[in-house]
């Protein structure tokens, strides 16, 4: 997933713009409403993609930004629901025993299908001593790790046999998978926001944009040390790049000093910025001085985001093409 060749200015980058704030609020309200309502597209990957594209057009909001913004809010929702789901675990397991599918349970609970499947696996499957390793493997390949009847606890064998009888024609082969494996796979495939596929995508997107940041710096002739190079030197908790010399970046009518840059392959909404990104940036500022956060999918209006008392420059989509060297000379790569 690459940033647009001509980045769309999601919001104003310098001034308090009432229209920008109103539009941001509109997008946030839509995301929160759909998540709180447990809309059908949260349980259908194809419907999710179609809804995101349609809403992106309707709200005139970049698709990549909308998807990231939605995901950020959804993560908060899942965190807030997790305790309640776990506290009602026995109830969900009993409903599963009575024939409700894992996907139906997730819809009822307004919870991630992938995570609901994990709850059921923890209570229905025979778990070896290395529980964490087994669960990780089982949720990546349920047919292999959960597909045999001897993978299921004795107290759930009756529902496996009943399910097998009802699906007799489909599972005529001796290697036919269990109900547990079938429904776990169904839940994983239906989940547009959680699970192995989503985790892999986020991992590779993160790597891709770290490479993109380094490419932007090289094309602008700005020397730097990468996170990998810094760690090889024994430096821990580092930003993506530490500049070999400070540069000045224009923010409105002022030049701000930047010693380091950290990129985020996400949309910088207010909650994520204040609760997650700012604390991380504070540690960089304390060690390396003022720096920059680059949100590759845009960010909320600047007036709504904290800038660490002026020590943090916030940019969206790409690095500025115009900057100042320590000598006072200005480079313009426009």
pLDDT tens-digit readout, 77-100: 999 999 999 999 999 999 999 999
CB of 78 closer than 8 Å to CB of 115: yes
User: What's the mean pLDDT in 8-25?
Assistant: 69
User: Where is the domain boundary, 144, 163, 190?
Assistant: 190
- pLDDT reported for residue 6: 40
Quick one: tokens of 112?
């991630």
The C-alpha atoms of residue 131 and residue 122 are separated, in whole angstroms, by: 9
Token pair 């400070």: residue: 246
Tens-digit pLDDT profile for residues 105-147: 999 999 999 999 999 999 999 988 888 999 999 999 999 999 8
| Tokens representing residue 28 in the block | 């946030």
Per the structure block, which two tokens stand in for 125?
Answer: 């499957």
Range of the domain at 252: 198-332
CB 86 within 8 A of CB 56: no
Residues 158, 263 within the same domain: no
Q: How large a percentage of the chain has pLDDT more than 70?
A: 92
Torsion of CA 210, 63, 275, 303, to 10 degrees: 100
Q: Is residue 98 part of a domain?
A: no
Assess if residue 19 is contained within a domain: no
Check whether 307 has a pLDDT greater than 90: no
- Label residue 184 by pLDDT band (50, 70, 90): very high
Q: Is there a single domain that holds both residue 206 and residue 300?
A: yes
- Are residue 166 and residue 203 in the same domain, yes or no? no
Dig out the tokens for 98 from the structure: 């009575």
Q: Which helix (H) or strand (E) holds 316?
A: strand 312-316
Question: Looking at the domain assignment, is residue 248 inside a domain?
Answer: yes
Tokens, residue 137: 């493997």
- Return the minimum-mean-pLDDT range out of 59-63, 109-113, 302-306: 302-306
3-state secondary structure of 329: coil
* Residue corresponding to tokens 């809309």: 39
- Per-residue model confidence (pLDDT) at position 208: 82
The residue among 166 and 143 whose pLDDT is bigger is 143
Say what the pTM is: 0.85
Residue 177 φ/ψ, nearest 5 degrees: -75, 160
**How many domains does the chain fold into?**
2
Q: Which two tokens stand for residue 133?
A: 């390793």
pLDDT at position 1 is 43
From 133, 158, 190, the end of a domain falls on: 190
Model pLDDT, residue 2: 47
């Amino acid at each position: 997933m690459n940033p647009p060749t001509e980045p769309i200015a999601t919001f104003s980058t310098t001034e308090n713009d009432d229209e920008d704030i109103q539009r941001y609020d509109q997008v946030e309200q839509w995301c929160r409403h759909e998540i709180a309502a447990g809309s059908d597209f949260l349980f259908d990957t194809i419907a999710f993609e179609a809804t995101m594209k349609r809403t992106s057009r309707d709200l005139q909001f970049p698709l990549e930004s909308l998807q990231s913004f939605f995901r950020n809010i959804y993560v908060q929702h899942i965190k807030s629901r997790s305790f309640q789901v776990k506290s009602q675990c026995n109830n969900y397991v009993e409903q599963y025993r009575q024939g409700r599918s894992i996907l139906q349970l997730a819809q009822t609970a307004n919870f991630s299908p992938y995570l609901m499947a994990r709850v059921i696996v923890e209570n229905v499957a025979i778990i070896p001593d290395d529980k964490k390793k087994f669960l990780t493997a089982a949720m990546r390949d349920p047919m292999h790790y959960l597909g045999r009847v001897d993978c299921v606890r004795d107290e759930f064998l009756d529902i496996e046999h009943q399910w097998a009888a009802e699906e007799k024609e489909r599972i005529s082969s001796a290697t036919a998978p269990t109900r547990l494996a079938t429904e776990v796979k169904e839940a994983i495939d239906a989940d547009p926001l959680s699970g192995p596929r989503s985790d892999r995508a986020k991992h590779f997107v993160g790597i891709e944009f770290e490479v993109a940041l380094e490419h932007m710096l090289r094309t602008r002739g700005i020397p730097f040390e990468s996170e990998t190079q810094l760690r090889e030197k024994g430096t821990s908790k580092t930003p993506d790049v530490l500049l070999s010399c400070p540069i000045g970046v224009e923010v409105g009518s002022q030049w701000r000093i930047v010693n380091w840059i950290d990129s985020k392959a996400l949309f910088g909404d207010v909650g994520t910025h204040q609760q997650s990104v700012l604390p991380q940036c504070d540690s960089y500022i304390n060690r390396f001085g003022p720096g920059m956060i680059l949100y590759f999918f845009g960010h909320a209006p600047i007036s709504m985001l904290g800038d660490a008392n002026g020590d943090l420059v916030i940019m969206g989509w790409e690095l500025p093409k115009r900057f100042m060297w320590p000598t006072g000379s200005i480079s313009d790569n426009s």
